[in-house]
Chains A and B, each alone.
Chain A
Amino acid sequence: MSGIIRTQGAQVGFNDLKLPGMWSRKIGKDLYEIFIGPQHPGSGHMRIVIRVDGDVIVEADPDMGYVHRTMEKLSEVRTWIKGIPLFERMAIHDACNVTLPYVRAVEKLMDIEAPERAKYLRVLLCEINRIAAFLYGFGIFGVFLGHSTMYMWPFGDREVWVELAEWLTGARLTHSYPVFGGVRRDVPAGFTDSLRKAIRYMRKRLEDYRKIFVDNPVIRARLEDVGVIPKNLAIELGITGPNLRASGVKYDVRLNHPYEVYDQLDFEIPVFQEGDAYARVWQRVEEIKQSLNILEQVADWLDKHPRTPILHDKFWKTAPPLYKKIFEETGRAKLGAVYAIMKVPAGKAYERAETARGEISYYVESNGGNKPYRIRIHSASARNALVYKYIVPGHRVMDLPAIYGSIDYFPPEADR
């Protein structure tokens, strides 16, 4: 929310260019300042202040913070368990991925580990979330490029994964599924059959996407050689996720710092060398395919193994007999009162995970109390925001929506 500083007192003659719905003003010979957002459909809940010479951008200043909720501060006045529903507000459709490193960091401090079945269930929801988040990103990207079919299709197909997540956790978004020591629910009867059906359906649909969107000559003309991030610059800026891998860097937290059961699953990390907006689209298509492979393996594992406890003994042993009976009948683990009063041993832990948009990292410090002393979150979108400042200048204004969409920037996650 900083761009406003420079423009205070400049309200007079503020609409030199008379652009509908956008502020703009002349700041020099052939040099105009245009405020794109925060209500503009091409920006989301953020604003990019650009300076243009003709229609070539010479300077861009990303102006974030419109959906900032001070999560780091709020977490300091809440008990440990309340951090989970708080942090998943960062990316509600990617809730499992976003909260998992927090849960794992606290587990690290307590020296406990989730049972194997819970680990597979976490991976299951993580990948369902990842696919849903990619499809969401595709839909928004379609809007940016004026491709209304690519808006309708992924949003419709995303419903398949959201419904699966609802069936598994009871909530369409904000699942609060991983908890300290395990997960809340086991898979319902018949879940893996529907999951396999969804995987088959999605593979077919990816082919449809390719025909109508990815291989579309108009889309290729808009995206190829636009927003190129060279490999060395991608590393220097510390950008992350599919954007980094589309620039030729083979880095994925699931590979470099394996968590849960990712080291036991067979999947590849796709890498593209071009680093342009078009490569980033392909990158996401390939990553969906890999997620589908992972889900297939998880479904096989779940079919082969009978139901076992999904919470660590430290928490499950305090559960009253009624809770255990409910779990045996329905697969739902009701959380015991121990979560409300739990204290975490003093210490520091650092944990990260690969979300749909890239790496998220949590620094968690405890002083032995019932609340965190300090939690620092740095999310994928916050790291990718540097792209606007360093990559956008030199492009035409027309390219800005293409770059913005291809980065898959998500303001609530960036603002935290």
Chain B
Amino acid sequence: MTRPAAVTGGVLLGLGLAVFLWKAVGLGMPVLPTDPLGLWQVEVEINARGSGGRGSVRAALPSSDLSQTIFAERSVSDGLVFSIRSERGQRTGIWSGALKRTHQLLYAFRVQLSQSTVPLPRGAGRTVPPKLRAEYGGATAEFPTTATEIVERLNWLGLSPPEQAAARLAAVYSFVTDEVATEPNAGDDVLLTLAQREGSALGKARLLVTMLRAAGFPARLVSGLQLREGLAPQPKVWVEAWLDGAWVPMSPTDAFFATRRPDFLLLRQGGDALIEATGVEAELHRFHALRERLRPEELATLMIPTNPLLAELSLYRLPVPTQGALRVLLVLPLGVLVTALYRNVIGIQTFGTFLPVLLALALRGTTLMRGLAMIAFVLALGVVGRLALERLRLLLVPRLSILLCVVVLTVTGLALTGRGLVERDLYAGVLFPMVILTGLIERFSISLAEEGLREALMKSLNSILIAVTVYPLFTSELLQHVMFTYPELVISVMGALVWIGGYTGYRISDLRRFRTFAGASGGAR
């Protein structure tokens, strides 16, 4: 290695490590994830378009209660006026003003979800206050408590007397949960749901509210999100019934009773939409959620560091989707480092420089075994396709394109059978791997034509080998967390790459190749 290369590499390596150490030791920032349970970062992103008229967008905002603690709230109003209104325990965020263009609104917060069970009374419990009875006990068009079908069904159920309120409550819940099927495409009308014994999640929730009210319990719909790791949050509707001074949560579709599921976030009382807009031409909203790897007090040191420059540079303040993408992106240099080691120090031949890393990235979108099966399939297709198309004497580009068409058809077939690849969103699950596999099939076909089956398979195996060794890096929560918290480590990786680039010693493959020289230094022997 030349002196300048050695020095440059050392300086870069040292620089990254120095910043890392300064932040970790000097400023006491956490290095390893502490992985608290149920701590999430949630974001509501709203695009509202208008052409000059006044309008407003209202979003249901969460409040802290027994099962959830809300903190670190922030909002972006993009030219509108943002205010929070609180009405009977329900908070609503309102953006209002003249909408002249597309306004990008944002409301973000962190939430600690916890599991807490509402205790049920042994006896009848406290009497229902008349005000509550009036508001949540009556018949409405949405909840036809007085309909004959409802009354008859309750009689048929043969409920326990009001003195055993908890058993009464459970009996109604069990009926709607177990005797009425959940069918996403079914209607949400209460009486229809009851008659057909089949309803949507909303239909079943409404039926439950109606029957509970008819049975004497004040009841209401509530809505919120189910937070899922690696996936977009799922809007949910469930039910709360008032008993003995507390609202008891229950869901006839997601199977919980008295204890809210620990991944459910409550946003709104009532079954109305989470986001509503008036005077707006078009409104589009999306929810994002990311599970936090650090406890709130540790997060604080990263989000609001004492050093103003670091505060400005903190990745933890970025929008949630950007954070998710960066978590993956920042691990990429580690994968490249491993590839460089394989190629320049060990001397393994692969297809292209970065194809193995991209393969590993594609594998990330699915499971390892499923991904490998897919790669094996594509390679087999390459061999068969070549044999089959050989006779037609087609030119290179159309021939490869035909193979690609077959891959597309296969993916389509897999989607039809409903298995595997299409569970996640189309981009991560299918499109991205398609791009990579196209690269693989092209390289493989050319290698097959030029160097023969043996060589082509050898290079494929090597590429897959590297992809499989790099894959754990890309799926490691730990590495993602460390690289995201300390992105300066990328500079260290660059330093290490300078060293590898300046390495002029033998590759392991050289040693193998020139093994006939072994013993040459023995001289006299």
**A joins B in a complex:** no
